[in-house]
């Protein structure tokens, strides 16, 4: 265990250094962290080997840090901040999420019909495609201190997008599993996977609000917050193991609900003090979470990517961009939101790999060939899309004029 822990520390150090180098050429540090994960992961130089990725203590640390990263979203979900734009955010979330599902499902419905592949697989592709991985875009927000309508819309949307993604994907996979009579995915998982993280986060968040409301020194505040994040994570671990047939709870969603709850119970000044104390931990958490996204990605798949992978990446990008454009248009959002929000929603890998793993598990016995199509297509797309998506997301903020020292389109 000690050797594996040292491997992890060395990987974090390398990622930090590579991130700084990448930032020198005006690209997001996250791109350096992601590439470091791929290059030092089990498919390349194996410093971050499969034994480390499979270790229970490592998975525990990652989930706790994911819960911590959720604070980036939750602390922005203060009712006084979002009540004026709440309706627009909900509508735009639905149009870009469901729009992506419909576009990808329709495109692959035609492709699979022509290829004589079962059509239900198209809906699984659509269910996987609609979800967005919030960490990459939020990392760019944090690194470049972006401010403006696109940033304001994206942060709460990241939370809602996860909820919609889980509802649609687990509904699709439950219907497919039922029709294939695999019987290994209970219907109640649809409800649990969506509501349980929110319930855990809200309950523990109420406790955190009561504890953190009183002003304390920076050190005591940090210790209390870390302790409360660990408590929220432990509750998540217990439910993950006891109630669910496989560990699929979204710990970032727990952290989001946890921090949104206590953020609405304390003063704005106190919230600022809490996040200032937590920032150093959040920096480390972001690096580890992104490394964990990158390590399972096999860069060799780039060279073997087939037509399905290309179609998947393009169809998903079209669905995200125009779904966001349409939603922002009908809600009369600022012009920059209409034009550039879709670009910030392209990162995908972490969520896609989790959903892919579940889909492959459901299909492996009754439809093994379909399982291979899903696994090969999404795995290759995760590698290619994530590199492109991080650059596109940064450009989206830049063209919107929300990066520091950039000039973009005027807000209308």
Give 89's pLDDT tier (boundaries 50, 70, 90). confident
Q: Distance between CA 374 and CA 129 in Å, rounded? A: 12
Q: Distance between CA 343 and CA 399 in Å, rounded? A: 10
The answer to whether 381 and 320 are in contact (CB under 8 A) is no
Averaged pLDDT for residues 276-289 = 88
Averaged pLDDT for residues 324-333 = 91
pLDDT in tens, 182-238: 455 566 666 677 788 889 999 999 999 999 988 888 899 999 999 999 999 999 998
pLDDT in tens, 19-44: 888 878 777 787 788 788 888 988 88
- Counting Cα atoms < 13 Å in the Cβ hemisphere of 177 gives 20
Domains defined for the chain, CATH in brackets: 59-399 (1.20.1530.20)
The whole-chain average pLDDT of the chain stands at: 83
The answer to whether 301 and 380 are in contact (CB under 8 A) is yes
CB atoms within 10 A of CB 53: 17
Question: What's the pTM value of the predicted model, to 2 decimals?
Answer: 0.72
Q: Distance between CA 111 and CA 123 in Å, rounded? A: 12
Q: What is the pLDDT of residue 79?
A: 74
More confident residue, 79 or 129: 129
Q: 297 in helix, strand or coil?
A: coil
Averaged pLDDT for residues 369-374 = 82
Looking at 243-306, list the stretches that DSSP marks H as alpha helix, in order from N- to C-terminal side: 251-263, 268-294, 301-304
DSSP structure string for 301-367: HHHH--HHHHHHHHHHHHHHHHHHHHHHHHTT--HHHHHHHHHHT---HHHHHHHHHHHHHHHTTT-
Tell me how far CA of residue 129 lies from CA of 91, 110, 125, 381, in angstroms.
19, 16, 6, 10
Q: What is the pLDDT of residue 231?
A: 95
The answer to whether 336 and 400 are in contact (CB under 8 A) is yes
């Amino acid at each position: 265990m000690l050797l594996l822990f040292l491997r992890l520390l060395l990987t974090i150090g390398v990622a930090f250094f590579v991130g700084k180098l990448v930032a020198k050429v005006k690209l997001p540090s996250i791109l350096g962290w992601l590439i470091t994960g791929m290059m030092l992961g089990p498919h390349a130089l194996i410093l971050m080997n499969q034994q480390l990725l499979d270790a229970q203590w490592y998975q525990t640390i990652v989930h706790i840090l994911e819960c911590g990263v959720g604070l980036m979203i939750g602390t922005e979900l203060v009712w006084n901040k979002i009540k004026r734009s709440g309706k627009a955010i909900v509508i735009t979330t639905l149009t870009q999420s469901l729009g992506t599902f419909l576009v990808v499902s329709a495109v692959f419905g035609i492709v699979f019909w022509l290829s004589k592949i079962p059509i239900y697989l198209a809906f699984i592709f659509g269910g996987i495609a609609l979800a967005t991985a919030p960490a990459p875009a939020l990392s760019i927000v944090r690194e470049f201190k972006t401010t403006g309508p696109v940033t304001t819309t994206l942060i709460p949307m990241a939370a809602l997008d996860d909820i919609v993604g889980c509802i649609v994907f687990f509904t699709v996979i439950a219907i497919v599993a039922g029709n294939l009579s695999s019987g290994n995915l209970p219907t109640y998982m649809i409800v649990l996977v969506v509501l349980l993280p929110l319930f855990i986060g809200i309950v523990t968040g109420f406790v955190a609000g009561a504890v953190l409301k009183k002003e304390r020194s920076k050190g005591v505040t940090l210790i209390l917050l870390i302790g409360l994040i660990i408590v929220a994570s432990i509750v998540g671990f217990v439910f993950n193991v006891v109630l669910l047939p496989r560990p699929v709870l979204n710990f970032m969603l727990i952290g989001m609900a946890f921090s949104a709850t206590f953020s609405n119970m304390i003063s704005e000044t106190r919230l600022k003090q809490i996040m200032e104390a937590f920032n150093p931990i959040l920096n480390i958490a972001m690096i580890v979470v992104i490394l964990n996204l990158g390590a399972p990605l096999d860069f060799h798949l780039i060279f073997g990517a087939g037509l399905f992978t290309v179609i998947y990446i393009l169809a998903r990008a079209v669905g995200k961009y125009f779904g966001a454009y349409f939603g922002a248009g009908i809600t009369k959002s600022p012009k920059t939101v209409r034009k550039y929000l879709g670009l910030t929603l392209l990162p995908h890998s972490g969520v896609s790999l989790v959903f892919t793993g579940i889909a492959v598990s459901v299909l492996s016995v009754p439809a093994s060939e379909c399982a291979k199509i899903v696994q090969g297509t999404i795995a290759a797309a995760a590698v290619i899309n994530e590199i492109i998506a991080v650059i596109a997301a940064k450009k989206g903020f830049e063209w919107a004029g929300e990066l520091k020292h950039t000039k973009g389109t005027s807000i209308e």
